[in-house]
């Protein structure tokens, strides 16, 4: 009732992605929209070595919610049963019923030795260690405004599997991950491809994503984009 009036009566709107901008336009908003993505502090530490491990680690690191596609991820994992891989799930719980469904699904599919759920991690050093130990990042989201966890994965040189329902279709173009139209079948086939890749292939994809992030999402560049935008808004 009131949000559209606010949006129509401001001078500019800031969107974090082209998809968000298009959603506003689809609502009939006529206000000028400026797209500036979230920025990230890109540390010097990242997965720059190819390490042979007994088991590779796939990582889900996001909010535990139905729209994140975790049940579908478990179904796909059970179908392909990737050899010498484990799946680690971290995240705050938005819906306890959904979390219970996840735990029941793990038991139903006999994935207790392949899939592990952990408490959410917020401390920077611990989170950094988790990403650096991961060999791929999985976010089969059914809807995502930006996907900050994808940015974090890319910043550490971790290849990403996500969906067209996130604003990250560019990852396919730059060979930094797998991008799918959300469906159980697509998720299963792409997950099978990703977990069948060699260490060198995974490393190359992760390196491509990190380079793209440094060129487009480095916090120093984003800050300058904000300054230029504010000057435009304030006409100074």
Q: Write down the pLDDT at residue 3.
A: 85
Residue pLDDT, tens place only, 21-62: 998 999 888 899 999 998 888 877 787 776 777 899 999 999
Range 6-27 average pLDDT: 90
What number is the average pLDDT over the span 203-217?
94
Axis-axis angle for helices 124-132, 148-155 (nearest 10)? 70
Per-residue CA distances from 180 to 72, 160, 169, 188 (Å): 13, 11, 9, 10
Closest Cα to residue 150, out of 165, 137, 140? Answer: 137
Full 3-state SS string of 32-90: CEEECCCCECCCCCCCCCCCCCCCEEEEEECCECHHHCHHHHHHHHHHHCCCCEEEEEE
pLDDT higher than threshold 90 for residue 235 = no
Which tens digits make up the pLDDT trace of 133-162?
A: 999 999 999 988 788 899 999 999 999 999
Q: Tens digits of per-residue pLDDT, 175-196?
A: 999 999 999 999 999 999 999 9
Query: What's the pLDDT at 197?
Result: 96
What is the model's pLDDT at position 48?
72
Percentage of the chain modeled with pLDDT above 70: 100
Task: Dihedral sign for Cα 95, 99, 104, 109, please.
Answer: positive
Statement: residue 222 has pLDDT above 90? yes
Instruction: Render pLDDT for 77-130 as a digit per residue (tens, 0 to 9).
Output: 999 999 999 999 999 998 899 999 999 999 999 999 999 999 999 998 899 999
Question: What single DSSP character describes residue 119?
Answer: -
What is the tally of helices (H) and strands (E) in the chain? 10, 8
Which secondary-structure segment (H or E) carries 207? helix 199-216
Given a cut of 80, is residue 219 above it in pLDDT? yes
């Amino acid at each position: 009732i009131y949000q559209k009036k606010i949006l129509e009566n401001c001078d500019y709107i800031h969107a974090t992605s082209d998809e968000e901008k298009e959603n506003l336009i689809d609502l009939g908003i006529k206000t000028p929209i400026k797209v500036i993505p979230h920025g990230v502090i890109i540390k010097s530490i990242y997965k720059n070595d190819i390490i042979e491990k007994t088991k590779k680690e796939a990582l889900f690191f996001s909010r535990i919610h139905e729209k994140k596609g975790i049940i579908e991820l478990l179904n796909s994992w059970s179908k392909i049963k990737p050899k010498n891989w484990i799946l680690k799930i971290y995240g705050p719980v938005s819906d306890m019923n959904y979390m219970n469904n996840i735990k029941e699904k793990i038991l139903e599919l006999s994935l207790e030795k392949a899939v592990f759920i952990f408490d959410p991690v917020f401390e920077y050093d611990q989170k950094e260690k988790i990403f650096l130990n991961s060999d791929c990042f999985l976010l089969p989201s059914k809807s995502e405004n930006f996907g900050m966890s994808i940015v974090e994965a890319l910043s550490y040189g971790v290849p990403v599997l996500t969906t067209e329902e996130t604003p990250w279709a560019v990852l396919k173009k730059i060979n930094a991950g797998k991008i799918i139209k959300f469906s159980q079948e697509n998720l299963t086939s792409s997950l099978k491809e990703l977990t069948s890749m060699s260490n060198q292939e995974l490393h190359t994809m992760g390196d491509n994503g990190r380079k793209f992030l440094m060129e487009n999402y480095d916090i120093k560049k984003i800050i300058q984009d904000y300054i230029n935008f504010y000057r435009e808004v304030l006409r100074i």
